[in-house]
Structure 1
Amino acid sequence: MHQLTGFQRDLLYCIVGLDRPSGQRIRETLEEQTGREITHGRLYPNLDTLVNRGLVSKGEIDRRTNYYTISDAGTDALRSYHEWGSGRLS
């Protein structure tokens, strides 16, 4: 997790909180949460990085739309990262 960017970690947290979201749904959720616009050119390469690292799985809803789910490795990485961060706050 420490080798990921903050944006990539935010994507993981977003995906784990949604049920098979599309890239568009992920973008909208993060924009609502952060109040910042997220471009197509930033979102999809970062999602692809997470897929390539085995932290996220990608499936097809239709020819134009993919969905994303967190993998077991992604869940484990988030859990470990959260525990690491929580330990720093206590």
Structure 2
Amino acid sequence: MYDLTGFQRDLLYVVAGLDDPHGLAIKDELEDYYEKEIHHGRLYPNLDTLVEKGLIEKSQRDRRTNEYSTTRRGTREIEARTEWEAGDIDHDG
């Protein structure tokens, strides 16, 4: 996960956290978080990068809608990152 951009890491977390992770739901969630519009030209290439890295899978719901899901590797990466962050915070106090 160290080689992901902050935006890609946020995408991974959003895909893992949504009940129905498809393009527009992911976009809406990120727009709420960032409080600004996320353009398709930024969203979809970064989702494709996460697919290429084996962190998420892409499938087709219908002719216009792709669905995304976190792979086992993606879930392990999130868990490792969470443990690292928790450990880092504990040592600062």
- Is the TM-score greater than 0.5? yes
TM-score, L = length of structure 2: 0.93
- The Cα shift of 1:49 comes to 0.2
Pairing 1:2-21 to 2, within 5 Å after superposition: 2-21=2-21
Structure 1, unmatched stretches of 5+, are none
TM-score, L = length of structure 1: 0.96
Determine whether 1:83 maps to 2:83: yes
Is the contact between residue 54 and residue 71 of structure 1 (CA under 8 Å) also seen in structure 2?
yes
Point out 4+ residue stretches in structure 1 off by more than 4 angstroms. none
Identity within the alignment, %: 52
Superimposed CA distance per residue, residues 5-37 of structure 1 (whole angstroms, 9 cap, x where no aligned partner) = 000000011011112411111000111122121
**Which residue type is aligned with residue 42 of structure 1?**
R
The count of aligned residue pairs is 90
Q: Which has the larger radius of gyration?
A: 2
**Which residue type is aligned with residue 59 of structure 1?**
S
Q: CA RMSD in A?
A: 0.8
Structure 2, unmatched stretches of 5+, are none
